[in-house]
Structure 1
Amino acid sequence: MGSISDTFMENRERVQPDDTNNYASAHGGNVVKWMDEIGAMAAMRHAGKTCVTARINSLDFERPVPQGDICVIQAYAYDTGHTSIKVRLRAFREDPRSGETEPTTDSYFVFVAVDDDMQPTAVPDLDVGSERCRELREAALAGEHDE
């Protein structure tokens, strides 16, 4: 059984002109793609199996990520079902020169673990033993219920 903090991942994408919309900020579809990729990695880290996206429970775009900035994506698993893993995802804009960050996007994805035949397969429970794990889980559950 892995812990919530074992699933914590962070990735960065520099927002290039090909990633932007008419307003010179990251296209929402690109942000969702980046979130989906890192979210699946967090789910697979816990499950030890391939995980596929089953649902996006919520997706709130709070502000844009301007071209030239860095889109930082953070993900961690915070709850499990029999075959599913809930993952909290947050995106931030980061100024590459100063390192200043600002939250931009908040989301909750559900992934399902699958076997070699792409059939759902059981996942282990998450360990919530440490204070950091409890804090991450409580933050995710609080945000999930604000939907």
Structure 2
Amino acid sequence: MPKNLEASIDIAAAPEQVWRVVADLKRIPEFSPQTVRTIPFGKVKVGTFALSLNRDGKLFWPTTARVVRFEPNSAFAFKVLENRAVWSFTLEPAGTGTRLIQRRDSPNGTTTFSRKAIELGMGGYDRFDGVLVDGMNRTLQGIKTAVEAGR
């Protein structure tokens, strides 16, 4: 079964600066080692759908997601329709900067297809969750580097 996963990082920038990067779905592949491309359908807000191409090594797969939370400068989340996972970013004031928290929650478990794909094609949950946490940390570091460099 999928576990809830979390990673965080402190960024030397105001939440508004961090938000501009986090809420831009087209930039996800710039930071995420698993996401190859993301295409949002329309202006990003609650209810917006997006299509992504993801990868793990030589394995590629598409996912669709719907934005389920959009609170400027505070919180952003999307639900992956194929596996019911909710990916979120939460921005919290931290001294003179921002703490950025990324989570993957699976409050309703996952689909049979997703469970079988992870067990049979992705090395099982322990390996795949480790890949995801590593990817979350790399994503957060990439966002930090971009925001602090003013990109």
TM more than 0.5? no
User: Which structure shows the bigger proportion of residues in helix conformation?
Assistant: 2
* TM norm structure 1: 0.32
- Structure number with larger C-alpha Rg: 1
* TM norm structure 2: 0.32
